[in-house]
Amino acid sequence: MLANYHTHTIRCNHARGSEREYIENAIKEGFTVLGFSDHTPQTYPEGFNSWIRMALSEIPEYTSTLLTLKEEYKGRIDILIGYEVEYSRRFFPSLIEKLREYPLDFLIQGQHFAINEVDGFYVGGPVDSEEDLISYVNTTIEGMETGLFTYLAHPDLVNYTGPDDIYCKHMRRIVEKSLELDIPLEVNMYGFSDGRWYPCDRFFRMASEMSPKFVLGCDAHDPFMVRQPEHAPGLTEFLEKYGIDCGDNLVTLKDPHAPWKLA
């Protein structure tokens, strides 16, 4: 694994360590590319506070900190500036407008909410209704269709508790969309090591049979989490079980200027 594109910073209020510590650990672990992708701020209504993401006012400092480190570490490791973005029909256009004012290398999609964080619901729920599962799938696919995301983080974040046939019937559409648009799907190393409900067997059993592109994401919320899959106990076996081969984990970044193209 040469690249990791899923790295947080303390600005999201639930990660720890300095950017430098993440970078130093990435070098120690043999990475040649480290993409920072903190939880994007959002253009939510005044008075609505989301505590799991940086504030809009932190964008300039986030960007300048990473630009400085990018320069300093040149030749040793490529530092990329990105965000993990919550797509929503209501807030995405104004968010993109905001983000495009600053240098940006890539965006990954991380869909923690269906519809959006203000009007919708957290998909880690658990979610027991088919209607809510469909809502997650629809929001996710709509985000993928913007064409602005390098990959889809934890595609199986939705914690649907219903039967496999209903789960697969709807989740299959995400895999089909990933194939159609050539958007890799992430195996989330944080969820795995933390014993969360994702990455989940029923998703990767189905997805691996359809053969989309897969990518590994450390989803590092702590510098030590920027690590090789063999340093995450059990992960290699999980990947082997489903025949998931991420190669060197380098992905083609979408045109970094793509955000400018959104009208």
Measured CA to CA, the distance from residue 36 to residue 107 in angstroms comes to: 10
Measured CA to CA, the distance from residue 27 to residue 33 in angstroms comes to: 9
**Does 84 participate in binding Zn ion (rule CB under 5 A)?**
yes
**Does 86 participate in binding Zn ion (rule CB under 5 A)?**
no
Structure token digits, residue 225? 């989490």
Please, which residues bridge with residue 85 across strands? Answer: 109
- For residue 169, how far is the Cα from the chain centroid? 23
Closest CA to 184 of 212, 205, 203: 212
Quick one: 145 exposed, middle or buried, by C-beta within 10 A (0-12, 13-18, 19+)?
Answer: middle
Name the closest residue to Zn ion (Cβ). Answer: 219
- The two beta strands, 113-114 and 121-122, are antiparallel
- For residue 180, how far is the Cα from the chain centroid? 19
User: Cβ of residue 220: shortest distance to Zn ion, in angstroms?
Assistant: 8
| Binding region for Zn ion (CB under 5 A) out of 81-89, 99-107, 144-152, 253-261 | 81-89
Residue 157 and residue 112 in contact, taking contact as beta carbons nearer than 8 Å: yes
Measured CA to CA, the distance from residue 190 to residue 232 in angstroms comes to: 9
| Binding region for Zn ion (CB under 5 A) out of 84-92, 123-131, 170-178, 226-234 | 84-92
User: Cβ of residue 124: shortest distance to Zn ion, in angstroms?
Assistant: 11
Rank residues 19 and 84 by Cβ distance to Zn ion and give the closer one. Answer: 84
Rank residues 86 and 219 by Cβ distance to Zn ion and give the closer one. Answer: 219
| Binding region for Zn ion (CB under 5 A) out of 20-28, 80-88, 129-137, 196-204 | 80-88
User: Cβ of residue 187: shortest distance to Zn ion, in angstroms?
Assistant: 13
Residues 165-224, interacting with Zn ion (CB under 5 A): 219
User: Cβ of residue 243: shortest distance to Zn ion, in angstroms?
Assistant: 25
User: Cβ of residue 174: shortest distance to Zn ion, in angstroms?
Assistant: 17
User: Cβ of residue 188: shortest distance to Zn ion, in angstroms?
Assistant: 8
Residue 163 and residue 171 in contact, taking contact as beta carbons nearer than 8 Å: no
| Binding region for Zn ion (CB under 5 A) out of 54-62, 63-71, 79-87, 205-213 | 79-87
Chain positions contacting Zn ion, by CB under 5 A = 84, 219
